[in-house]
Amino acid sequence: MTARAAVFDVDGTLVDTNHLHAVCWWESLRQAGHRVPMTSVHGAIGLGSTDLLAHLLGPDRDKDEDAALSAGHKALYGTWHPRLAPFDGAADVLRRLHEDGWPVVLATSASGPELEALRAALDADEAIDATASADDVDAGKPAPEPVWHALDLVGAEPGDSVFVGDSVWDMRAGRRAGVTPVGVLSGGVCRAELEAAGAAEVYADTADLLRHLDRSAFGRS
């Protein structure tokens, strides 16, 4: 059994998509008659669609509308698929960890064409051992199930594994899963919020993490 794994969130962590998601959710909500501040939408990015809508519209919303709102977001976001761009150092840090013997797993709520677009933008398939989708678990982040599922895919244990993400939902999921949560600021969430949610370390972005990899949780594991 592999003792450790390097688990990475994708949106806002490896690929520069958070603000695109926020705009597309905002527009889908607006078209349906919901006026939600953009800052609130951005703060919910990282949650699965059902949890995101519950967070923004409340538990008493008309749940029959969820599918149409999600479809609207997906259609709007799909227009960006050919233009998605990774952050500097994103592919390089995955390759470096893979070369150092870390099984690399992507943990994402994306699936289908969206996941294909993200992986095409990263262009690092040779360094990715597995992909864990939120579709494969009953509860999305901040529940620990997505992280546990990622570990299970490569037979890893939580204690020596590291989860890199950009949102408070990532950090909470990592803490609950028993891995070391490492935050990056590239998704637009501030250092204080990530640390309050459980981040053991925070880096500016994946390029910053790569520069300090030997002194990071990866280097100490």
**pLDDT band, very low/low/confident/very high, at 134 (cuts 50, 70, 90):** confident
- What tens digit of pLDDT does each residue of 1-26 get? 468 999 999 999 999 999 999 999 99
At 75 the three-state DSSP class reads helix
- What tens digit of pLDDT does each residue of 147-169 get? 999 999 999 999 999 999 999 99
Higher-confidence position of 6 and 221: 6
| pLDDT at 137 > cutoff 60 | yes
- What tens digit of pLDDT does each residue of 62-73 get? 999 999 999 999
Give the pLDDT score at 1. Answer: 44
| Mean pLDDT along residues 25-40 | 98
Closest to 16 (Cα-Cα) out of 220, 152, 207: 207
- What tens digit of pLDDT does each residue of 173-200 get? 999 999 999 999 999 999 999 999 999 9
* Domains delineated in the chain: 6-17+85-220 (3.40.50.1000), 18-79 (1.10.150)
CA dist., res. 90 & res. 84, Å (int): 13
Q: Are 151 and 105 in contact (CB under 8 A)?
A: yes
Closest to 159 (Cα-Cα) out of 143, 147, 172: 147
| pLDDT at 213 > cutoff 50 | yes
Q: Taking the model in full, what pTM does it have?
A: 0.95
CB burial of residue 36 (10 Å; 0-12, 13-18, 19+): middle
Residue type, position 158, single letter: P
- What tens digit of pLDDT does each residue of 70-125 get? 999 999 999 999 999 999 999 999 999 999 999 999 999 888 899 999 999 999 99
Residue 203's CB is within 10 A of a number of other CB atoms, namely 22
Give the pLDDT score at 136. Answer: 82
Give the pLDDT score at 135. Answer: 76
